Chain A
Amino acid sequence: MEQQQLIPHLFRSEYRKIVSVLCRRFGFDEMEIAEDIASETFLTAAQTWGFNGLPQNPVAWLYRVAKNKAKNYLQRNLTFETKVAPQVKSNFSECCETEIDLSPQNISDSQLQMMFAICHPSIPPEAQVGLSLRILCGFGIDEIAEAFLSNKETINKRLYRAREKLREEKIKIELPTPAEIDKRLDAVLTTIYLLFNEGYYSISQNQVLRQDLCFEAIRLCQMLADNEHTNKPPVNALLALMYFHASRFDARVNETGEIILYDDQDTSLWNADMTLKGGYYLNRSAVGSTLSKYHLEASIAYWSTQRADTKEKWENILQLYNRYLQVAYSPVAALNRTYALAKANSKEEAIVEAEKLNLTDNQFYFALLGELYTGIDNLKAKTNFQNALAIARTTADKKIIQKKIEEFE
Chain B
Amino acid sequence: MRHEDGTKIASPEQMQIWMKQTMDWIGSIAAQNKFVSGTGLPFDDARVVHSNKMVTNGPFGEIKETIGGFIVVRAESADEAVEFAKGCPVLQGEGNTMEVRRIAKNDGTH
Q: Which residues of A contact B (CB under 8 A)?
A: 315, 318-319, 321-323, 325-326, 329, 333-334, 337-338, 341, 345, 353, 356-357
Q: Are B20 and A353 in contact (CB under 8 A)?
A: no
Write the B10-28 contact mask toward A (1 if CB under 8 angstroms, else 0): 0000000000100110111
Q: Are B24 and A341 in contact (CB under 8 A)?
A: yes
Considering the complex, give the chain A residue whose CB is closest to the CB of B22.
Answer: A322
Q: Are B31 and A357 in contact (CB under 8 A)?
A: yes
The 6 closest A-B pairs by CB, nearest first: A322-B27, A325-B30, A334-B31, A329-B33, A322-B23, A326-B30
Residues of B within 8 A of A318 (CB): 24, 27
Alpha-carbon distance between A315 and B24 when the two chains are bound, in angstroms = 10
Alpha-carbon distance between A129 and B33 when the two chains are bound, in angstroms = 27
Q: Are B32 and A322 in contact (CB under 8 A)?
A: no
Q: Are B28 and A329 in contact (CB under 8 A)?
A: no
Can you spell out 11 A-B residue pairs with CB atoms less than 8 angstroms apart?
Answer: A315-B20, A318-B24, A325-B31, A326-B27, A326-B30, A329-B30, A329-B31, A333-B31, A337-B27, A353-B31, A356-B28
Q: Nearest-CB distance from B13 to chain A (Å)?
A: 15
Alpha-carbon distance between A315 and B17 when the two chains are bound, in angstroms = 12
Q: Is B35 an interface residue (CB 8 A)?
A: yes
Alpha-carbon distance between A357 and B20 when the two chains are bound, in angstroms = 21
Considering the complex, give the chain A residue whose CB is closest to the CB of B24.
Answer: A322
Alpha-carbon distance between A319 and B25 when the two chains are bound, in angstroms = 11
Alpha-carbon distance between A318 and B35 when the two chains are bound, in angstroms = 17
A-B contact count (CB 8 A): 45
Considering the complex, give the chain A residue whose CB is closest to the CB of B23.
Answer: A322
Alpha-carbon distance between A357 and B28 when the two chains are bound, in angstroms = 9
Residues of B within 8 A of A325 (CB): 27, 30-31, 35
Residues of A within 8 A of B35 (CB): 325-326, 329
Q: Nearest-CB distance from A358 to chain B (Å)?
A: 8
Q: Are A345 and B24 in contact (CB under 8 A)?
A: yes
Q: Nearest-CB distance from B92 to chain A (Å)?
A: 16
Considering the complex, give the chain B residue whose CB is closest to the CB of A335.
Answer: B31
Q: Nearest-CB distance from A362 to chain B (Å)?
A: 13
Considering the complex, give the chain B residue whose CB is closest to the CB of A327.
Answer: B30
Considering the complex, give the chain B residue whose CB is closest to the CB of A345.
Answer: B24
Q: Nearest-CB distance from A210 to chain B (Å)?
A: 30
Q: Are A337 and B20 in contact (CB under 8 A)?
A: no
Alpha-carbon distance between A319 and B33 when the two chains are bound, in angstroms = 16
Residues of A within 8 A of B26 (CB): 322, 326
Considering the complex, give the chain B residue whose CB is closest to the CB of A334.
Answer: B31
Partner of B31, one of A315, A319, A337, A345: A337
Q: Nearest-CB distance from B82 to chain A (Å)?
A: 15
Partner of B32, one of A319, A345, A357: A357
Residues of B within 8 A of A321 (CB): 27, 31
Interface centre among A323, A326, A329, A345 (most CB of B within 10 A): A326
Interface centre among A325, A334, A337 (most CB of B within 10 A): A325
Interface centre among A322, A325, A333, A334 (most CB of B within 10 A): A322
Partner of A334, one of B20, B23, B33: B33
Residues of B within 8 A of A323 (CB): 23, 27
Considering the complex, give the chain B residue whose CB is closest to the CB of A330.
Answer: B33
* B26-80 CB contacts (< 8 Å) to partner A: 26-28, 30-33, 35
Alpha-carbon distance between A333 and B32 when the two chains are bound, in angstroms = 11
Q: Are A338 and B31 in contact (CB under 8 A)?
A: yes
Alpha-carbon distance between A318 and B23 when the two chains are bound, in angstroms = 9
Residues of A within 8 A of B33 (CB): 329, 334
Alpha-carbon distance between A357 and B31 when the two chains are bound, in angstroms = 7
Alpha-carbon distance between A406 and B49 when the two chains are bound, in angstroms = 68
Interface centre among B30, B31, B35 (most CB of A within 10 A): B31
Considering the complex, give the chain B residue whose CB is closest to the CB of A341.
Answer: B24
Residues of A within 8 A of B27 (CB): 318-319, 321-323, 325-326, 337, 341
Q: Nearest-CB distance from A291 to chain B (Å)?
A: 14
Residues of A within 8 A of B31 (CB): 321, 325, 329, 333-334, 337-338, 353, 356-357
Alpha-carbon distance between A337 and B28 when the two chains are bound, in angstroms = 9
